[in-house]
Amino acid sequence: MALTRSALEAAVADYREEEPFYPVEREGIETLPSAFRSGEFGRRDATWVVRWYYRRLLGAIPNAERRRHEDAFERNPFDDVHDAIVAAATAIDRGDRSPPVAEPVERLTALEGVDVPVASAFLFFGAPECCIVVGDREWETLRTHGHLERPYPESPSLADYRTYLDRCRSLADRFDCDMWWLYRGLWRLSTDEDADTERN
């Protein structure tokens, strides 16, 4: 069954009421795009994106694994982190609804502790008008509703992210929404579907 605007609208409303990360995500969406483009951000801002990616799952990732990823990222010299984020944000800051993402992803994944999904989180907070984070919950929501065919890959590649991003951009165009709105809808629909599965 294809996604509908009404289903997404209800899920987005639920997200605001139910998801504990909503207030800090909203702040990040409002402040980080300009900070990442201008370079006016510190290590704490960059580290927050990595922590957010794993901690939004509220314990679904074992603590030891989460800390391993976070610690790996923190070992990067901040100059390298800063340069990669600015380069990525600048590359997608072209006023285009569908800018290419290969160069930004490659710059970000050159950093220790950054794989394609974490790179997508940096793109999401750097350009929420045209980029979205990828994870198993968002991916599986699209698959459940017929917008993706394959299950979520164990280690998503750049090609996987491009496929996912293309589907999300098509939905954003159809529903005339930004990517944060779409993300919130996909996330909550996944939560609702998990609850339905448990009840059955």
* Euclidean distance between CA atoms 200 and 167, whole angstroms: 29
Query: Residues in the chain, how many?
Result: 200
* Euclidean distance between CA atoms 130 and 125, whole angstroms: 10
**Positions in the chain whose pLDDT score sits under 70:** 93-97, 191-200
pLDDT at 108: 98
CB 164 within 8 A of CB 142: yes
pLDDT at 11: 96
| Residue 39 zone, left/alpha/beta (φ > 0; ψ -120 to 50; rest) | left
Neighbours of 90 (CB within 10 A): 17
* Euclidean distance between CA atoms 30 and 83, whole angstroms: 21
pLDDT at 67: 92
pTM reported for the whole predicted model: 0.93
Q: Cα-flanking dihedrals φ and ψ of residue 123, to 5°?
A: -65, -40
Nearest partner of 118 among 46, 62, 182, judged by Cα = 46
Q: Which regions of 106-182 does DSSP assign to beta strands (E)? A: none
* Euclidean distance between CA atoms 138 and 141, whole angstroms: 5
pLDDT at 192: 59
